[in-house]
Structure 1
Amino acid sequence: MQRQTAPNRNGPLVRAGVVLGLSFGGFFDGIVFHQVLQWHHMLTGVADAAVRDDITLNTLADGLFHVASYVLGLIGLLMLWRARVELVGPRSGRVLAGAMIGGAGLFNLVEGLVNHQLLGIHHLRTDVANPLPWDMAFLASGVLLMAVGWWLVRAATSAASAER
């Protein structure tokens, strides 16, 4: 006899976690790399020296980046509020954590590909002779975080299904 499993109800929770992870990834990037380590600002890779070297303009661009991260966080919280019914399910905390880790990885991958490689508006490190290895490590961290997040969601969902 084949065992029937309940439908996966984690979709809203996973989507909320991914959006929150995107937000947290943005905040981590902006706070750690832009402010604390001061490795780059949003526009430090722009060819025009008037833009690249204008700290006021770069600070504004960094601030707008934080506003976008904040808006993503608010959207993610709203999505999480709507998915709150799923939070009582077995292993839902692991599902949410995995989705958030995956979302942070997605942020690194998209931001690294778009801003670092395609647009070239900045690189992870602007204070080194060759920023490419640092950019590649940033992209690799995105892939790794996405894989860990996917594994956590998958493991928690499988364990919850087995407990039913």
Structure 2
Amino acid sequence: MDDMQDRRFPVGAGILLGLGLGGFFDGIVLHQILQWHHMATSAGLPADTLSNLRLNVMLDGFFHAATYLFTAAGLFLLWRDARKEHFRWSARLLFAAMLMGFGLFNLVEGVVDHHLLGLHHVNETVPREQWVYWDIGFLVWGAAMLVGGWAFYRGGRASHPA
């Protein structure tokens, strides 16, 4: 690997941190605080019985464990690269990469869990015919973060060569 490649900002670390933060936001805010849905509430396991709620909370825990692994991997990559000789990194690049990761989380989770698998929907507390609007809004929010993060990253790379 050439010297300049070793000095580049570790965008993968920021994306992993953003994926983890996106997952934590979803799990903590939407699953736990607002209780709009749990992991499998639209997959035949509505949280209307104690046994279904217990299973959904366990699945939410596995989901949180995965987001924890994304965050830990991002921190490890950032720490590993921070120990190398490098140019001063920009906070803008870190924010941009994390924003891209958060947006990527929303897009992948929204497409896979909400639309393809139908495991749950963003807001299951509203009438069923409105669920699709919340799901689409979640995707638009994710796309806006991904595109905005990419724009910040490109601007940051132009003003910060390393």
Q: What TM bracket, shorter-length normalisation?
A: 0.7 to 0.9
- 1:93, distance to aligned residue in structure 2 (A): 1.5
Distance 1:147 1:85, change over 3 A: farther
Distance 1:114 1:71, change over 3 A: same
Distance 1:86 1:10, change over 3 A: farther
Number of aligned residues = 153
1:62-141 equivalent positions in 2, closer than 5 A: 62-84=60-82, 89-129=87-127, 130-141=130-141
- Could you tell me the TM-score, scaled by structure 2's length? 0.87
Which residue of the partner structure matches residue 57 of structure 1?
A: 55
Structure 2 stretches of 5 or more lacking a match? none
What secondary structure sits across from 1:44 in the alignment?
A: coil
CA RMSD of aligned residues (A): 2.0
- Could you tell me the TM-score, scaled by structure 1's length? 0.86
Cα separation, 1, equivalents of 2:103 and 2:37: 19
Which residue of the partner structure matches residue 41 of structure 2?
A: 44
Distance 1:145 1:87, change over 3 A: farther
Q: Give 4+ residue runs of structure 1 displaced > 6 Å after superposition.
A: none
Structure 1 stretches of 5 or more lacking a match? 1-5
Which residue of the partner structure matches residue 24 of structure 1?
A: 21
2:123–2:134 contact (8 Å) kept in structure 1? yes
Q: Percent of pairs identical after alignment? A: 44
